[in-house]
Amino acid sequence: MYAFIALIIAVIFISISATNRDPGEIRFSELVRRIQAEQVDSIRVVGNQLIVTFRDNTRATTYKAPESTAPEQLRMFGVTAEQIEAINWDNDQPSNLPAVGLSVLSALLPILLIGGLIFFMFRQAQGTNNQERPFAKN
């Protein structure tokens, strides 16, 4: 039982810690403007999400279209190749751990609950069968 509770707590903790805190969203056009003003230090690409770190160490997020890369979209918005190369790029793959943990938990939870219910029902029934009959005490 304690292992089950620990498993639930671990899955919840992993789900919460794996999610990125939203530091503030900006529009893609605002990102273009700030890149052209040379205010962007680095961009981390996680799927379609761009996590931007500015030169003053503030952070913001924006989203790109899924059909092309972030540098291609920036070029379409008028950012020069030199401005794109001046940015430190970091490409991360999105973590599937929260989704996997949640799917495992959703598959195991009904099995554990039904199994626990059956276990306690058999224990209760076993306790009634082991009691002595009042007429057999003599």
Residue 54's CATH number: 3.30.720.210
In a domain, 30, yes or no: yes
In a domain, 72, yes or no: yes
In a domain, 35, yes or no: yes
In a domain, 113, yes or no: no
Q: What is the tally of structural domains in the chain?
A: 1
In a domain, 106, yes or no: no
- pLDDT value of position 32: 94
In a domain, 126, yes or no: no
* CB-based contacts of 34, cutoff 8 Å, min separation 6: 26, 40, 52, 54
In a domain, 75, yes or no: yes
49: containing domain: 22-92
What's the predicted TM-score (pTM) here?
A: 0.52
- pLDDT value of position 27: 92
The candidate with the shortest Cα–Cα distance to 46, out of 105, 92, 77, is 92
In a domain, 73, yes or no: yes
- pLDDT value of position 26: 93
Mean pLDDT by 10 residues, the chain (138 residues): 76 65 79 94 91 93 90 92 92 74 86 91 74 58
Query: Which residue in this structure is represented by tokens 């195991």?
Result: 108
- pLDDT value of position 37: 93
